[in-house]
Chain A
Amino acid sequence: MATADTTKVVEADDAVSAPVRALQIGRDYGIGGFFFLLLLIFSLASPTFLSGPNLLGILTAASVVSLFALAEALVVIAGAIDLSVVPIAALVGVIVALSLNAGIPVWLAVLIGLGVGFLCGLLNASVIEFMNMSSLIATLATLTTLTGVVLLITNGKPIFGVTALAPLGQGRTLGVQNPILVMIATYALVGIVMSQTKFGNRLLAVGGNAEAARRAGVRRRFYVFAPFVACGVISAGAGIVVLGRLGSAQPTFANSILFDAITAVALAGVLLSGGRGSILKVLLGSLIVATIANGLVLLRVSSFWTYVTTGLLLAVAVWADGAVSRAIERTSLSTEHRKEAARA
């Protein structure tokens, strides 16, 4: 009798958990599938698309956006948002350029730049934590303030003729552009920290439910500061890469960069309310954004379509992620009910 009962429960388990598993697979690997679909479509439409130089070109173009997306993802996983990543990068670019022009060695100038990013992240977290502001408003204020500070420092003019960082931005190692290597190294480092350390687990826990994490003994305040500081440092890294690529420090960046970064994060299925996110998928999200831009240029499609496509993707990604998550929740609940019924 006991055996029969157990079999019933196991059968019920298998029957109802299959759809859950299918949905989870869809959520976990859907972005990868979509990326390969894009590659397939563009490679059929343009003979140049799948060429080695073009693929490296996509990766180079993605390198800056992906760093911003990574910075943003860490904050979003923690249940917040940072709108100031782009002006932080602009400020760092300008400070590093001025340092280099003042004769400071490259390594020290880069260190100063990363330090400025660290301080900007610290400032954002302090305002949020000690002034009880929402991250949206606090970083909106930082965005505006830093934009003004950069314009005041530069008088609105780019600082050009900065060649010391050209090897970083324009050089190659084993045939691969160095910005790509910076991107890979940064993602590998953050990926390991997020998946292999307690820090990653606790950051996810605080993002998912800060109060529950605090009760479990997690130092909540540290996990408010850490992602913003990391975000500031990674944004600073992006600013240094841009400085290297262009050989000049820009007081303002193109408006589309922040939007592209947030789109990449949303495409990656990082829960915008915090608590869930995969670093590898953020990289894939960034590659998707860069691939669409590149593919449409190769096909000579009006760039206005890039806006349309990216905007629609953002909406569809967030909607699909929510729909799949709700379906998983419903199906899981139904599984529990069936298990209970089987046990009864």
Chain B
Amino acid sequence: MDRDKKRRAALAVISGTVLVSVLTGCANSGGTTSVNKGTIGFITLNQTQEIFISQTKAAQQWADKNSYKLLVGDPNNDPLTQANIIDGWIDSKQVDALLIGPVDEKALLPSLDKANTAKIPTIVSSGLDKPQNDHQGVLVVDWNLFGRNAGEALAGCINERFGGTAKIVILDGPELPGDIVTGRINGELQKIKELSPKSTVVAQQNGQGKRLPSLDIMAALLLANPDITAVTGTNDDSMIGVANAFKAAGKDPSKMCIVGLDATEEGLALVKSGEFYATVDLQPIQQILDGLKLLNDMKAGSVAADARRIVVDTKIVKATS
């Protein structure tokens, strides 16, 4: 019994020490500076996907360099959690500015109104076409255009390698509200129909935006339709699963048409090696840096409505690019 008590006490001390160390570490890593220009609340869809973690890292570096403190929220792809985090920041006056990548822009409208009432400069990255009030700036990301770029690249590959006719698979998912995934898929389908009318989409399945389920789904599809030659979908990650499935089926991915989206580090490496025909770059870091710069300008003084609207550029990246 005494031994148990001692063990528990020792565990409590260890846990306490770890907790204090972690919290101290977190506080130190926040990058406090001598002249603090304010706190920016930074919240994107999640903090588990490569693209958003890279954006956060870039935002943190920018904040450190420009004497801001960055408060990072993780809604884990949930619109309600995102609204709660933002409302909490505003209600408790923790933030002087906001940069938001909405999970679902429509679900976020009350929070954006609240930020406006509190006169907090806010940048909304994707989802809105123009600023809704004087304290708001927008990064216009056209997800449909993003998908159209992928569709255009895929159709180009089909025309180049298969004489304009191919059996195509689209791997969609994960199920996110808003236009982030559906915009991409609709754009892809639109361009494929327009630029490669003889091709047929033989399957549209949910790869969950992840490579392992995409690999299993693609492996099954290749058995049912061994003549599938072209695939695109939501992101690079799922297309990496597709490339592996082609390899497992004894086919060379570099002779197929695989088009990724997001231009992740691994995606770009596969474009270079030829396994991907192309990937589409949304320039995620640049758009965040542009947004933060605009936020800084808005905090310093009024910025004209036109200047508060930045259209994010997307581009197709091929091995020859």
Contact = CB atoms under 8 A, between A and B. Distances in A.
B220 interface: yes
A269 B57 CA distance: 47
A254 B203 contact: no
Interface in B154-207: 173-174, 202-203, 205-206
B266 A298 contact: no
B48 A61 contact: no
Contacts of A155: 53, 57
Given A131-B11, A297-B205, A254 B213 contact: yes
B244 A246 contact: yes
B293 interface: no
Interface string A252-270: 1111110000000000000
B41 to A, nearest CB: 20
A300 B203 contact: yes
Given A57-B220, A61-B219, A157-B265, A170 B247 contact: yes
Contact of B208 (A53, A151, A157, A255): A255
Interface string B35-50: 0000000000001111
B52 A297 contact: no
B215 A245 contact: yes
Interface residues of A, number: 42
A300 B205 CA distance: 8
A256 B208 contact: yes
Nearest to A251: B48
A151 B47 contact: yes
Contacts, number: 108
Contact of A297 (B11, B174, B203, B240): B203
B216 A46 contact: no
B7 interface: yes
A246 B219 CA distance: 13
B240 A246 contact: yes
Given A300-B203, A303-B205, A48 B211 contact: no
Contacts of B1: none
Interface in B257-276: 264-266, 269
Contacts of B174: 255
B210 interface: yes
Interface in A119-146: 130-131
A66 interface: no
Interface in A19-76: 46, 48, 51, 53-54, 57, 60-61, 64
Contacts of A46: 224
A241 to B, nearest CB: 10
B50 A245 contact: no
B300 interface: no
Given A53-B223, A151-B47, A256-B213, A247 B244 contact: yes
Contacts of A170: 244, 247-248
B48 A147 contact: yes
Contacts of B244: 170, 245-247
Interface string B210-252: 1111011101110110000000000001001100100110000
B212 A293 contact: no
A233 to B, nearest CB: 21
B220 A298 contact: yes
Given A53-B223, A157-B54, A158-B266, 16 more contacts: A48-B224, A54-B223, A60-B216, A61-B216, A156-B54, A157-B265, A161-B269, A170-B248, A246-B240, A248-B266, A253-B212, A254-B212, A293-B217, A298-B220, A298-B224, A303-B217
7 contacts: A48-B223, A54-B223, A151-B48, A156-B50, A160-B266, A297-B203, A298-B221
